[in-house]
């Protein structure tokens, strides 16, 4: 018996692709917003893979990957079920805005979290309609998924890569069991990331992750709460999909299906993109930061490997004259994930997103002030 028979109005049918929708929220003007659903089911039982995209309006590569992924050839060879949602933020996609017009919060910071909730207070805002919609969606994914991939896009011209998550556990419950479970889940995620085949970059340290509310992103919520392997992929420029990255992501996604046992065929090579492996784990970091207001003329490109001390940008004043010795230097060995947009910078602003050597543990307890906060 297949694990999933229906999602919203979409009814799964063996050997076919079916379509439907999940009601998301109702606008004050009376119209309803929904999440479009695609259910592709093979002719034999197998795992359930969730694929989601379009949670940030300008990031339109992920939906492109999903639209091009599904065809009858895939279904003929599929074991199990794929459930896809190409538009997690329909309002954001319509306006190409990161936040939808009906909610000022980043939608990828609205998924459930571990932190205990405070008592109801008349002075605190209740969950928004969109947050409640994601909670319902989270429950559907938790009840059915064996794996989840969420498709994003990073910066204009950035490389295609995938995030490996930090794993956190609640201290004091049963530390040995909690740590073992976190290690197993992390190892499983890494196996699937290697199957996907793109550059792998560790997320920022857990304290920073929580400060940025990234533990409430879609895949972090699925990993940390539902204990299901999931990962986020970043597919370069969001508003103008790169065909090479799209094709490499489709191939990587099919390779994940092979790893899950959903396709019984040879792994596809990842072609047309740069895949970087320095031989040691790297994490993302926004660096270097300018020390004074200036014009920045970048000297390095996305995917370029650099050493600490290498010049990576020229620093000039508004007339184009060099500031100081005229250069900004890398503080780390690593490689460039992507350049920050624009050339005019205020003091303290980072000019690159870089992958630098990881110096933080992969599996850690939740910070004490996070778990105890608002009890």
172 pLDDT band, cuts 50/70/90, is: confident
More confident residue, 2 or 23: 23
Mean pLDDT score, 246-253? 98
Chain centroid to CA 196? 14
pLDDT surpasses 80 at 373: no
Tens of pLDDT, residues 46-66: 999 999 999 999 999 999 999
Mean pLDDT score, 121-140? 90
Mean pLDDT score, 296-321? 97
pLDDT surpasses 90 at 3: no
pLDDT of amino acid 312: 96
123 pLDDT band, cuts 50/70/90, is: confident
pLDDT of amino acid 119: 61
**Contact yes or no for 173/158 (Cβ under 8 A):** no
What is the per-residue DSSP string for 265-334? SPPPP--SS-----SS-EEEEE--B-SSSEEEEE---TT-EE-TT-EEEEEE-TTSPEEEEEEEE-SSSE
Tell me what percent of the residues of the chain surpass a pLDDT of 70. 96
Query: Could you give the CA distance from residue 60 to residue 68 in angstroms, rounded to a whole number?
Result: 13
| Global confidence as pTM | 0.95
Residue 11 backbone dihedrals phi, psi, to 5 degrees:
-105, 120
Burial of 280 (0-12, 13-18, 19+ CB in 10 A): exposed
Which has the closest alpha carbon to 275: 249, 310, 255?
Answer: 249
Q: Domains of the chain, with CATH numbers?
A: 6-260 (3.40.630.10), 282-357 (2.40.50.100)
Instruction: Tell me the pairing of strands 44-53 and 79-85.
Output: parallel
pLDDT of amino acid 374: 46
117 pLDDT band, cuts 50/70/90, is: low
Query: Could you give the CA distance from residue 166 to residue 45 in angstroms, rounded to a whole number?
Result: 32
375 pLDDT band, cuts 50/70/90, is: very low
Mean pLDDT score, 140-162? 96
Tens of pLDDT, residues 176-233: 888 999 999 999 999 999 999 999 999 999 999 999 999 999 999 999 999 999 999 9
Tell me what percent of the residues of the chain surpass a pLDDT of 90. 86
pLDDT of amino acid 125: 81
Which has the closest alpha carbon to 248: 162, 352, 186, 189?
Answer: 162
Tens of pLDDT, residues 315-354: 999 999 999 999 999 999 999 999 999 999 999 999 999 9
**Contact yes or no for 196/245 (Cβ under 8 A):** no
């Amino acid at each position: 018996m297949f694990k999933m028979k229906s999602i919203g109005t979409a009814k799964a049918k063996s050997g076919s692709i079916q379509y439907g929708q999940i009601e998301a929220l109702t606008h004050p003007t009376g119209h309803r917003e929904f999440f479009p659903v695609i259910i592709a089911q093979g002719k034999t039982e197998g795992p359930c893979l969730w694929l989601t995209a379009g949670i940030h309006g300008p990031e339109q590569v992920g939906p492109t990957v999903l639209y091009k992924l599904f065809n009858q050839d895939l279904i003929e060879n599929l074991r199990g079920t794929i459930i896809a949602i190409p538009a997690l933020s329909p309002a954001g996609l319509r306006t190409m805005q990161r936040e939808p017009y009906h909610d000022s919060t980043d939608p990828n910071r609205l998924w459930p979290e571990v932190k205990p909730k405070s008592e109801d207070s008349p002075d605190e805002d209740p969950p928004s309609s969109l947050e409640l919609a994601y909670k319902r969606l989270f429950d559907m994914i938790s009840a059915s998924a064996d794996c989840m991939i969420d498709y994003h896009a990073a910066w204009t011209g950035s490389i295609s890569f995938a995030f490996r998550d930090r794993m956190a556990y609640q201290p004091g419950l049963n530390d040995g069991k909690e740590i073992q479970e976190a290690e197993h889940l992390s190892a499983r995620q890494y196996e699937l990331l290697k199957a996907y085949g793109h550059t792998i970059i560790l997320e920022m340290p857990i304290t920073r992750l929580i400060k940025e509310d990234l533990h409430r992103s879609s895949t972090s919520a699925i990993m940390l709460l539902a204990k299901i392997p999931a990962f986020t992929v970043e597919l370069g420029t969001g508003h103008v999909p790169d065909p090479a990255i799209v094709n490499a992501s489709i191939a990587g996604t099919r390779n994940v299906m092979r790893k899950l046992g959903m396709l019984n065929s040879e792994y596809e090579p990842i072609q047309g993109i740069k895949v970087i492996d320095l031989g040691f784990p790297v994490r993302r970091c926004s660096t270097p930061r300018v020390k004074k207001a200036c014009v920045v003329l970048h000297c390095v490109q996305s995917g370029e490997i650099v050493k600490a001390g290498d010049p990576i940008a020229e620093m000039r004043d508004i007339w184009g004259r060099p500031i100081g010795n005229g250069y900004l230097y890398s503080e780390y060995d690593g490689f460039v994930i992507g350049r920050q947009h624009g050339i005019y910078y205020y003091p303290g602003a980072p000019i690159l997103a870089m992958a630098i050597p990881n110096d933080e543990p992969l599996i850690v307890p939740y910070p004490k002030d996070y778990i105890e906060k608002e009890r």
